[in-house]
Amino acid sequence: MQQELQSIWADPRRPRIYIIDQRFLPHRLVIETITSVEAMARAIREMRLRGAPLIGVAAAYGYYLACLHAERRGLDRKYLDEAARLLASTRPTAVNLARALKRQQQAVAGTVAAERSARAYACARNLEAEEIDCCRRIGQHGLTLIEGIHRQRPPTGPVNILTHCNAGWLACVRHGTATAPIYAAHERGIKVHVWVDETRPRNQGARLTAWELARAGVPHTVITDNSGGHLMQHGRVDLVLVGSDRTTRTGDVANKIGTYLKALAARDNGIPFYAALPASTIDWELSDGVREIPIEERSAEEVRRVRGLAGRRIREVLVPPRESPAANHAFDVTPARLVTGLITERGICPADEQSLRRLFPENSPAADNQSTP
């Protein structure tokens, strides 16, 4: 079963994309078949799937479905532009989404109408393969950090890693970003134990990361988002590993709301704090994450209501008084000064512009100028 390993996959024979509808996890594994760009846009907007790399791949497949539809109905480029706008509007913070769409638009540019869907399909498949490879490499680079801590520890105890939200394979395509080093260490027989922040309001940690880790047999403990500071004060966290939804060229990390608080606690207790990210999440245009990255505000009901299993049914319960309003900022920005390092597909580097440019020289200002038309 491909869904054992991947969060999205295409049927090679038919125009069908399969996704895991993550809203029902961990209590039910629901596979959804997507056959139109509208359905893909809805899946992204309603967070049936989420996670920066996965959103990019999903948008690419969505664009492919739009090309296919245009081809069959003889629709023009205007339709494809509309489809791209629809997909782009689903999640404003995710830079991968915009980039995947740009890549698709370039892939089909200048091709005859009849070839567009084949080109878009190939482009989406390539993006998928690249994301998988990216995560695999992130896992290998991040593994060296865990090995380093493991070597310094008494051999009886596990390496304790705290993670926030879900930067696992459910957020990517395979392996995950923040989880990739954890899986790599576990496979290599290094004892690890993961503190899983539940990650309110949507509980992606408690629901998704815990589910992934349980399936992989990785020892873990679910904690409230409030707990990490206390655990760090008492030496019970060796490493903080998180993902990134958007990274500035200066190393600021926009990730799930609450990440910044964990970075502060890590700094206060001398614990290494790393963000694992494919370079596709780096926005080379941005230098000040706190000022420049727009933070998505989502429905207050996500804060007011909690979803879970009641008996055999999945239900929602209302926690605060009916009349109390709530606010739901989805992300926050961790300034680079609090980030020990960035784990990318090309290696680990300090969170600063010079180091990032050294790893990714093709994004230097000169290279930028050349690629600008």
**Exposed e or buried b for every residue in 217-234, given b needs 16+ CB within 10 A?**
ebebebbebebbbebbee
- Looking at residues 91 to 150 of the shown chain, list those that interact with a copy of itself (rule: CB under 8 A): none
Q: Draw the binding track, 331-360, toward a copy of itself (x: CB under 8 A; -: no contact).
A: xxx---------------------------
Contact code string over 255-294 relative to a copy of itself, x by CB under 8 A: -xxx-xxx-xx--x---------------------x----
Which tokens is 239 given? 């490493």
Residue 60 near residue 104, CB atoms below 8 Å: yes
Residue closer to a copy of itself (CB basis): 235 or 365: 235
- The pair phi, psi for residue 223, each rounded to 5°, is -130, 160
14-53 residues near a copy of itself, rule: CB under 8 A: 26-27
Catalytic residues: 245
Closest approach of a copy of itself to the CB of residue 335, in Å = 9
Q: Are 220 and 193 in contact (CB under 8 A)?
A: yes
* Least distance in angstroms from the C-beta of 359 to a copy of itself: 27
For residue 340 the two structure tokens come to 């020990």
C-alpha radius of gyration, the chain, whole number: 20
Binding residue (CB under 8 A) for a copy of itself from 287, 328, 355, 363:
328
| Residue 70 near residue 76 (C-beta atoms within 8 A) | yes
Give Cβ neighbours of residue 349 (< 8 Å, ≥ 6 apart). 341, 342, 355, 356, 358, 359
Least separation in angstroms between CB 255 and a copy of itself: 11
Structure tokens at 240: 């903080």
**Site track 204-223 with a copy of itself (rule: CB under 8 A), x = hit:** --xx--xx-xx-----xxxx
Rounded Cα distance between 14 and 12, Å, is 6
Cβ closest to a copy of itself, residue 36 vs residue 328: 328
Question: Applying CB under 8 A, which residues contact a copy of itself?
Answer: 26-27, 195-196, 198-201, 203, 206-207, 210-211, 213-214, 220-231, 233-234, 256-258, 260-262, 264-265, 268, 290, 295, 303-310, 315-321, 323-329, 331-333
